[in-house]
Amino acid sequence: MDKQEVKNRIEKLSKEINKLRYVYHVLDKADVTDEIYSSLMDELRCLEEQFPDLKLVDSPTQKIGGQPLPKFQKVKHQVRQWSFDDLFSFDGLRKWHEKIQRMVEKSEGGQGGKGGVGELEYVTEIKIDGLKIILTYENGIFVRGATRGDGVIGEDVTENLKTIYSIPLKLKQNVSGVFVGECWLSKRELQRINKQREKKGETPFANSRNAAAGSIRQLDPKIAAARHLDSFIYDIDFLQGLDFPQTQMEELQLLKDLGFNVNKESRLCKNISEIEEYYQDWINKKDSQNYGIDGVAIKINSRKTQETLGHTGKSPRWGVAYKFPAEKTTTIVEDISVQVGRTGALTPVAHLRPVSVAGSVVSRATLHNADEIERLDIRIGDTVVIRKAGDVIPEIVETIQGLRTGKERVFHMPKICPICGGRVEKEIVGGKGGRGGIGKTSAAHYCLNQNCYAVEMEKIIHFVSKKGFNIDGLGESIVEHLMEEGLVSDFSDIFELTAGDLKPLERFAEKSAQNLISAIEASKKITLEKFIFALGIRHAGEETAILIAQAIRMELKIKNIKDVIAFFPKITVEDWRNIKGIGEKSAESIATWFSSEKNLEILERMKMAGVEILLGEKGVKGVKEGKGKLEGLTVVLTGELAGFTRDVVKDIIRKEGGSVSSSVSKNTSFVLAGENPGSKFQKAKLLGVKIIGEKEFGEMIK
């Protein structure tokens, strides 16, 4: 064949294969056998390898997966992405319907839907339990696919989405637009993948949604291709080249006409009774489908009415998600703690015996406020029923009082803040004139110390920092997020987190949740000096922590947290002060910290969570046995060093038996000064302390 004949053959093969895929993956029909399909694909692949310049932009071979990516790029959505508010009952549906009617009456003078307020039409669609995807096409060609992200910025997962057969690389009409839908994994495929993972000793995916999300976030598109993902597209955000549909039903039909896979189970409903009928019907048959379903999406049919109603800060007013009854299970409340939020509000959190619910292992549940605890009569030690709907944080819905033994303990909200010791005040939230505005009233407790939350957050950020426990992935924003959700209120809470606690949170997917848990697990083995530094004791910085570790290693042979709990509270201020380099303020602060029952309880919980202190045969890493070249000398660093990093210099000084101080005094042996030295340089000159440069320092340690 000449080149023109090859070009024609490639075009015809591509067209035929795309047609067969559409018939099979979208229309769910099989016109030819797998052998015929494979034969056509082999021929196309062979021709493309011989004539790569003739490969079409929408070639079916792109579905196989390209080269692995170094990382995902961030992409700003052309149209802001929203998420629907959730409903869980017919009463909630009725109230939403009435609210919409009032809003339409007010804004349109009574002309809502197609025939007035009383005739608002709704489209109901089954809500797929998958991963939201946003597809961008230019002149009919698929150019970009992204995850939802935070609604404004998502991740570019174009290459992975190209591997999904039901996502067309070229539309049936030459239009540009942004199309929204759901990427999902079939239940059969989940079983197949999990069998493979178990054979390899890998953790199985908890559910199909997590598997789909994990697959789309693979850097190697071949992995995504091997997992046989699928899609349903249900919305058009932007359209150019055609008139925009005037109803949601017309929108679904246009998506089909363009070549997208559209779920066929939508229904036009004239009233909320018909919506409820549709909802109840799918409660009974949701498990019969090969994909996960977690509720019903309800949208006003009229696009004009949708535009009139608009959006709130986080969701459209014209649509809601009517969630199926949540999965429930029982477990035991092992403890109740209090989380202090950014506003100073105290929120009780139940610590549960870990249990699997809705595909995740959870160990915590919010109790909202004191009224909720009283209403449900929850006591420490109670057997309770917990509910978790999809990615919603679990909550306790009832106690099983018939299983009480008499040993259960009543919980009381604290009168002083558990973080800062400030005064706690009970306020009425909601209702007329309340802190929460007009609505339902409830009792909330607030810490009156405005600095409380910020101080505790800074302590935890210090604790997980590089010089402390060095927990990768636990940065400032994540710490704040975990505190806001009531998952972390002190150091020890970090080591009790599970992947199931994290996955319901907005910023965590299956992989990111597991990555953070793995990082926390890896951090549990720590040297004594890093451990002491991480505690954030006032006037006990990095150098003080190292001095303590060296002295304690020689005197008490500290090997674990149990030894710290046993010995440190017995050390007096005078004993701490006798350690060379420890001043009066540091000694008092250290003694005070280890005399606190609250702090010792935190250490005990860390011990129970498996945190270990490492010393090794020679004690603190980097400290030489015997005398070094700087034995007994105290060194201060100032200025910019050219030949060393500060950490390297500090390690050298300690290895040679010296100590590093942060301030110059008459007891300073010498100051090591680099370029642009600061006030320490001037103070050393004033006190007559010896000042040396890098070259002289190098000679000293040869």
Residues 6+ apart with CB under 8 A from 513: 499, 502, 503
**3-class SS string, 36-77:** HHHHHHHHHHHHHHHCHHHCCCCCHHHHHCCCCCCCCCEEEC
Tokens 């004949």 — which residue? 5
Indicate the pairing of strand 131-138 with strand 293-300.
Answer: unpaired
Structure tokens given for 145: 């696919």
Is 127 one of the catalytic residues?
Answer: yes
The token duo for 468 is 């402390």
- Out of 15, 71, 127, 195, the active site residue is 127
Rounded-to-integer distance, Cα 401 and Cα 302, Å: 50
Query: Residue 645, exposed/middle/buried by CB under 10 A (0-12, 13-18, 19+)?
Result: exposed
**566 Cβ neighbours under 8 A, 6+ residues apart:** none
* Terminal-to-terminal C-alpha distance of the chain: 76
Ramachandran angles phi, psi of 63, nearest 5°: -70, -10
Asked if 13 and 38 count as a contact pair (C-beta separation under 8 A), the reply is no
E strand segments, 457-592: 525-527
Residues 6+ apart with CB under 8 A from 682: none
**Phi and psi of 666, rounded to 5°?**
-65, -15
Cβ 350 vs Cβ 381: under 8 Å: no
Q: Would you name the residues annotated as active-site residues?
A: 127
